[in-house]
Chain A
Amino acid sequence: MKKDNIALTRRKLITGLASTGGALLAGCSSKELPPTYGNVLRMGDLLTYRTFRMLLPAQSLAREYAHGDISSSPAVGNTNPADSQQPTFNADRGPLYDRLRTGDFADWRLRVEGRVARPASFSLADLKRMPARTQITKHTCEEGWSAIAQWTGVSLRTVLDAAGILPSARFVNYYAFDDIAEGIDMLDALHPQTILAYGMNGRDLPLAHGAPLRMRVETQLGYKSVKFLERIVVTDEFDDLGKIGSLQNGWAWYVGI
């Protein structure tokens, strides 16, 4: 278990506290919290989110397991963004993904934009040059099953720092090559175990598990760990991500439960 990067710098701490602390204040604007659309289920989700943020100690680490605990892992959801039969297929990015994959992702870039000082794009080689973190953690699917795997990647915080998160930043949203996008608050984004993974069980991330790069959010359910990442967007205000986000599809935005 790596514990070397838990300590936050003062600036990051202030950024994190400002975004989450602000969200917990009674009088905060609705744009600082996920919307409920007047839907009673979404109100329950919001209550759970706010209670967890208020009661649970911030940034505790999810359990990390031993090598011998690694289990088999089903690959569910979209297992190939280039497959036009998949329900989340995107007609523009699907074929693009196919070309990038044919070239072993040499031309693939992760764009980081939005409320950052220096919008940037990173190649796989750029990301692999950054300090790596390897963790053996449990993937919990909303369906009810779980799997333990070893993930290798770069801390999301390292990549966000390279682009320079602005102090007003509150959420980190990330988009895949198919019609999938998700978002997390700054507390989960800066969590030491939230990584951009390019390796799984000691080898390159397999296609069905999100090649070349996927998110790992170990404090939430599996569907926040989006596969086939294309772009990261930092925002000040809550963005429900429209038709490709979980909220408008009837799923909770915060799934720490």
Chain B
Amino acid sequence: MTAVTLDEVQQRSVGGHTRWVRLSHWFLAASVLTLAVSGFVILMAHPRLYWGPVGNDLTPALFELPISRNYKHGGWAAPVTFVAGSNPIVSQARTYDIFNENGWARSLHFLAAWFLVVTALIYLAAGLLGGHLRRHLIPGIRELSPRLLWHDVIAHTHLPMPRARGGPPYGTLQKITYFGVVFLVLPLIVVTGLTMSPAVTAAYPVLLDLFGGSQSARTIHFLAFAALVLFLIVHVAMVVLTGFKSHMRAMTLGE
């Protein structure tokens, strides 16, 4: 393959990242941060996670997070029993005044989600057409040999880390990580988010079967968010450890 794309021409002449990568990077960064903060506020209203189609304060949780005063809150009126027995079906009126900022948090979450989805689609289209995804993000077969991978892992354990020039070509672990975020975590987080929507799941009930119910989808949505936060921490740490200034120049000015 000797075809030279526009991306490569720019890369060779100025280094750093191409303009559309820089723009989409910061749009995505702003969207993800807004989604993380608003999503956390939404989770604070009901910090219990479940598996299956349903889950509420009167059914068992998979796990609970001590992130707001709603954590294991009391304040429930005496139960009204619909079906008695070993596995009773009851109703209880809530008398506790919960923390709930979902009025703005939900709308902000979906607004940021629109920015994320639109930017990600432009990024994917440009990445496919310009060859960025194929040449820089998808690891080659030879790169994936256990020996080379192990070598790359060891290289990441030595401090201080060698300075890196901002922009591609990326190391194999770096490629795998970016590939995982772009093609696995972000799509998963969007689709599980939509699986919580009553209108979307009415139109496409297959989503409920795919994730085992909307509460399972909510739990996967949260775990994908946790994975994304872990990525952000490592990503920023690597930027700092391998030359903060040159990376920032590469991702802002493209130098």
Q: Least Cβ distance of A41 to chain B in Å?
A: 4
Q: Which of A143, A148, A252 contacts B100 (CB 8 A)?
A: A143
Of A48, A70, A73, A219, most B-chain CB atoms within 10 Å = A73
B71 CB within 8 Å of chain A: no
Q: Do A148 and B200 touch across chains, with their CB atoms under 8 A apart?
A: no
Q: Do A148 and B94 touch across chains, with their CB atoms under 8 A apart?
A: no
- The residue of chain A having its C-beta at the shortest distance from the C-beta of B103 within the complex is A250
Query: Knowing A60-B202, A70-B89 touch, does A42 contact B107 (C-beta < 8 A)?
Result: yes
Cα-based distance from A221 to B107 in the complex (angstroms): 13
Tier of interface size on chain A: 35 or more
Cα-based distance from A249 to B57 in the complex (angstroms): 26
Q: Do A63 and B208 touch across chains, with their CB atoms under 8 A apart?
A: yes
Q: Do B46 and A145 touch across chains, with their CB atoms under 8 A apart?
A: yes
Q: Least Cβ distance of A134 to chain B in Å?
A: 15
Interface residues of A in 56-72 (CB under 8 A from B): 56-57, 60-63, 65, 69-72
A158 CB within 8 Å of chain B: no
Interface residues of B in 137-175 (CB under 8 A from A): none
A147 CB within 8 Å of chain B: yes
What are the interface flags for A244-257 relative to B under an 8 Å C-beta threshold, 1 for contact and 0 otherwise?
A: 00000111100011
Contacts of B94 in A (CB 8 A): 74-76, 79
Q: Least Cβ distance of A7 to chain B in Å?
A: 18
Q: Do A148 and B53 touch across chains, with their CB atoms under 8 A apart?
A: yes
Query: Knowing A75-B93, A143-B100 touch, does A44 contact B199 (C-beta < 8 A)?
Result: no
Of A61, A144, A146, most B-chain CB atoms within 10 Å = A144
Q: What is the count of residue pairs linking A and B with beta-carbon distances less than 8 angstroms?
A: 151
Q: Which of A47, A57, A63, A208 contacts B201 (CB 8 A)?
A: A63
Q: Do A143 and B102 touch across chains, with their CB atoms under 8 A apart?
A: yes
- The residue of chain B having its C-beta at the shortest distance from the C-beta of A63 within the complex is B205
Of B57, B194, B202, most A-chain CB atoms within 10 Å = B202
Q: Do B80 and A147 touch across chains, with their CB atoms under 8 A apart?
A: no
Do most interface residues of chain A lie in helix, strand or loop, or is the interface mixed? loop
Q: Which of B54, B108, B199 contacts A52 (CB 8 A)?
A: B199
Q: Do B110 and A44 touch across chains, with their CB atoms under 8 A apart?
A: yes
Q: Do B56 and A256 touch across chains, with their CB atoms under 8 A apart?
A: no
Of B91, B100, B199, B215, most A-chain CB atoms within 10 Å = B199
Q: Least Cβ distance of B35 to chain A in Å?
A: 12
What are the interface flags for A107-148 relative to B under an 8 Å C-beta threshold, 1 for contact and 0 otherwise?
A: 000000000000000000000000000000010111111111
Q: Do A72 and B58 touch across chains, with their CB atoms under 8 A apart?
A: yes
What are the interface flags for B39-65 relative to A under an 8 Å C-beta threshold, 1 for contact and 0 otherwise?
A: 000110110100001111111000000
Q: Do A140 and B90 touch across chains, with their CB atoms under 8 A apart?
A: no
Query: Knowing A75-B91, A250-B103 touch, does A203 contact B82 (C-beta < 8 A)?
Result: yes
Q: Least Cβ distance of A52 to chain B in Å?
A: 6
Contacts of B108 in A (CB 8 A): 41, 44
B114 CB within 8 Å of chain A: yes
What are the interface flags for B83-120 relative to A under an 8 Å C-beta threshold, 1 for contact and 0 otherwise?
A: 10000111111100010101110111011001000000
A220 CB within 8 Å of chain B: yes
B234 CB within 8 Å of chain A: no
Contacts of A76 in B (CB 8 A): 93-94
Q: Least Cβ distance of A128 to chain B in Å?
A: 20
B77 CB within 8 Å of chain A: yes
B218 CB within 8 Å of chain A: yes
Query: Knowing A138-B54, A146-B56, A208-B80 touch, does A74 contact B199 (C-beta < 8 A)?
Result: no
Q: Do A143 and B98 touch across chains, with their CB atoms under 8 A apart?
A: yes
- The residue of chain B having its C-beta at the shortest distance from the C-beta of A40 within the complex is B111
Cα-based distance from A108 to B158 in the complex (angstroms): 77
Contacts of B106 in A (CB 8 A): 142, 252
A45 CB within 8 Å of chain B: yes
Q: Do A256 and B82 touch across chains, with their CB atoms under 8 A apart?
A: no
What are the interface flags for A190-214 relative to B under an 8 Å C-beta threshold, 1 for contact and 0 otherwise?
A: 0000000000111100101100000
Query: Knowing A143-B98, A249-B103 touch, does A75 contact B46 (C-beta < 8 A)?
Result: no
B192 CB within 8 Å of chain A: no
B203 CB within 8 Å of chain A: yes
6 contacting pairs across A/B (C-beta < 8 A): A52-B200, A60-B202, A140-B198, A146-B53, A201-B82, A257-B197
**Contacts A72-B91, A147-B56 supplied; 9 other A-B pairs, CB < 8 Å:** A41-B108, A44-B110, A45-B107, A56-B202, A73-B56, A74-B56, A76-B94, A220-B199, A251-B103
Q: 4 closest pairs, A vs B, by CB?
A: A256-B199, A44-B111, A144-B46, A72-B58
